[in-house]
Amino acid sequence: MSSKQSAGSTQQGISQQPPAASGQDKRQATSDNLLSTNLFGIKMNSPLMSASGTYGYGKEFANFYNLSMLGAIVVKGITMKPRAGNSGQRLVETPAGLINSIGLENPGVEGFLVQEMPFLRESGVPVIVNISGNTPEEYAALAERLDGEAGIHALEVNISCPNVKQGGMAFGASCDMAAAVTADVRKRTRLPIIVKLSPNVTDIASIARAVEAEGADGISLINTLLGMGIDIRNKKPYLDNTFGGLSGPAVKPVALRMVWQVAGAVNIPIVGMGGISTWQDAVEFYLAGASAIAIGTANFFNPLAVPEIIEGVKAYLHSEGMQHIGELVGAARPK
């Protein structure tokens, strides 16, 4: 079921929970309901997810906190066949971020279903599978394969990976290609589809409108910004691929600007990400119009980023006298 069809949804796709009756009960219920959300027809405990590729398949983080506080786990990008990823050094640290060139290392769809899905199903947290392909047909075939698999609630269609030679970012940089991939995937799955856009474009709003027109249920953004680093002793780029994807606090103002622009261009829900490291960052993204947010690079330098951000957002909502996080979504936008 798409967000457009979900009962009780706002335009941004967040359902407003009814306030509880009175007294102690009311305080308890309000606190529990503060973040609970229905997005893309998925019941979520909070509109906060993991960003693909920064959270593996969730296992490592289960040692730090109860994963059920997440609205969904968005898993590392999956392809039809297993991929070994790129050669050489694959991560470069920058003063306020990370440049990665992983190259979509993953066990392939069959390996993922056998090795990773049992744990994810057991966790009870909704799973969103991030998918990639070299051709629109490959995306569509992957979508069809995942359709109906127990525990999988939605697909995130990655048309924005900067670290692969074929497909990836090339699809996300052209309205026609972005639309073609979305249309092909739409035809082959009943799962909600969230199309993940690349920030490495001149007109993000047109691409967002193109994928909305082809039946995307939501849009996530941003993927990483193309960047590079040079080893001054070696006198060579650090990465075998020369360029990689920049993420982390350095990209936050760019990501926020793009979420703002896309929120003004489409009527489907937006999952905002890019450099979110604190609850204050998260609140900014909701205010800009993101119905949900995802935490990426922050998971690397603070494994407790997710619970800390959730607690901070809740305290902020209380301090603002708000009954539900839906009241925050888009609140900074011109009326």
Ligand X SMILES: Cc1cc2nc3c(=O)[nH]c(=O)nc-3n(C[C@H](O)[C@H](O)[C@H](O)COP(=O)(O)O)c2cc1C
| Active site amino acids | 161
Residue number of the CB closest to ligand X reads 53
Strand partners, 129: 155
Candidates 297, 305, 310, 324: give the one binding ligand X (CB under 6 A).
297
* Residue 51 lies near ligand X (rule: CB under 6 A): yes
DSSP state of 331: T
Name the nearest CA neighbour of 145 among 185, 196, 116: 185
Mask 64-83, x = binds ligand X (CB under 6 A)? ------------xx------
Q: Which span (8-16, 95-103, 264-272, 314-322) binds ligand X, by CB under 6 A?
A: 95-103
Of the candidates 332, 306, 238, 334, the one whose C-alpha atom is nearest the C-alpha of residue 46 is 306
**How many whole angstroms separate alpha carbon 286 and alpha carbon 71?**
15
Interface residue with ligand X among 14, 92, 104, 263 (CB under 6 A) is 104
Assign 3-class secondary structure to 279-327.
Answer: HHHHHHHHHHCCCEEEECCHHHHCCCHHHHHHHHHHHHHHHCCCCCHHH
Chain positions 201 to 230 lying near ligand X, rule: CB under 6 A, are: 222-224
**325 in contact with ligand X (CB under 6 A):** no
Strand ranges of the sheet holding 127-131, from the earlier edge strand across to the other edge: 48-50, 292-295, 270-272, 218-221, 193-196, 152-158, 127-131, 73-74
Task: By CB under 6 A, name the one of 12, 241, 247, 291 that touches ligand X.
Answer: 247
Peptide bond into 222 cis (omega under 30): yes
User: Does residue 125 belong to the site contacting ligand X (CB under 6 A)?
Assistant: no
Residue from 9, 12, 79, 130 binding ligand X (CB under 6 A): 130
Whose Cβ is closer to ligand X: residue 25's or residue 60's? 60
Q: Which residues bind ligand X (CB under 6 A)?
A: 51-54, 76-77, 98, 100, 102, 104, 130, 158, 161, 196, 222-224, 247-248, 251, 273-276, 296-297
